[in-house]
Amino acid sequence: MQFDPALAAQQSFSRAETNNELGPDWDDAAEAEAIFSSNAGSTARAAYEQLLALSARYPQAHSFQAFCIFITWQQVTEETIAHHFQTGLRLCETFLASAEGKHRADVEQITELYGSFRDGLGLDEEDEIQVEFRRDTPKGGD
């Protein structure tokens, strides 16, 4: 990865605050982020889930959406399970559906993370049978 997701998360979170993306729910987001950042295990997981729930309520909060994608990568590194990879993949696909109105660095970094989430789920890997089939399949003109 060509960037630090934790740093990118901080920058996106800061932009979300500056842009007032969550309006009256900002205090809840700031509290959940503080809990997430300073804890581990089930306490951090509960704060993470709260942040994702806020994200779902504000689909136009692009910087906050980016923040949630970056912290999902942190969840992957904390607890490497398919659920976190799938969540990250879904969040990335939603975010990348349109680049309009989004911070350029977020789009570039999330595009890179998208590949990492896919790799973590094995979506870009070919097994031996697929490789052999491709090698043995006649090409045009054969």
Q: Indicate whether 140 pLDDT > 70.
A: no
Three-state SS for 22?
A: coil
**Token output for 57:** 């309520």
**Token output for 9:** 């998360």
Into how many domains does the chain fold?
1
Is 27 within a domain? yes
Is 79 within a domain? yes
In tens, the pLDDT along 16-44 reads 999 999 999 999 999 999 999 999 889 99
Contact 89, 117 (CB under 8 A): yes
Helix (H) or strand (E) holding 133: helix 128-136
Domain extent, residue 56, equals 5-136
pTM of the model: 0.85
How far, in Å, CA of 73 to CA of 115, rounded?
12
